[in-house]
Amino acid sequence: MSAERSGFFERVREIVRTIPRGRVATYGQVAALLGVPRGARAVGWALRALDAEAHVRVPWHRVVGAGGRISLGGRPAGVEQLARLRREGVRLRDGRVDLARHGLFVSRS
DNA sequence: CTTATGACTTTCA
DNA sequence: CTGAAAGCCATAA
C-alpha cells in the first residue's frame, strides 16, 4: 500500500505549515530548513504535488521564489497566491514580496 | 541504470 | 534590468 510518502514530501508540508501568517519564505529557505540548501527545486516539486486537501492545510501561498519573486507568475495559481498574500497584509512591490518586511525571520519594526 | 521534467537558484554576458 | 546557461534535488517512466 502506498501509505508511505517519501519523507521529503511530508517534511516540506510540515515546514510550510509552520510559516506564520503575514510572512513568506523562499523555496531555498524551506529547502535549507529541510537540510538541503540546494533542494529548492525539490521543494517546488513537493508543493506542486500537494492535493486539494493539502492546499487547505498547507499555506503554500506563503512560499515564493528568491528575492520574493513569484515563481508562479503567469499562472492562475500565481494570481491566487498574490491575492492570498495581499489578504494577509503582505505588501507587494512590483509583483515581488518585500522580504525585508515579511521575511521568515525578519524582525519587523 | 539513464533520461526527462519542474511552483528553483546563481552566475555570466 | 533582461536573457541564457549550468547546477542541484527528487520523481516518474
Per-residue pLDDT of chain A (109 residues; tens, 9 = 90+): 544 566 899 999 999 999 999 999 999 999 999 999 999 999 999 999 888 889 999 999 999 999 999 998 778 888 999 999 999 999 999 889 999 999 998 786 6
Which positions of chain C lie under 7 Å from any protein Cβ?
7-11
Answer whether any strand B atom is within 7 A of the Cβ of A47.
yes
Rounded, the Å distance between the CA of A17 and C1' of C9 is 21
Whole-prediction pTM: 0.91
Q: Which residues contact A99 (CB under 8 A, 6 or more apart)?
A: A24, A26, A67, A68, A106
- Which cell numbers hold the place of A95? 509583483
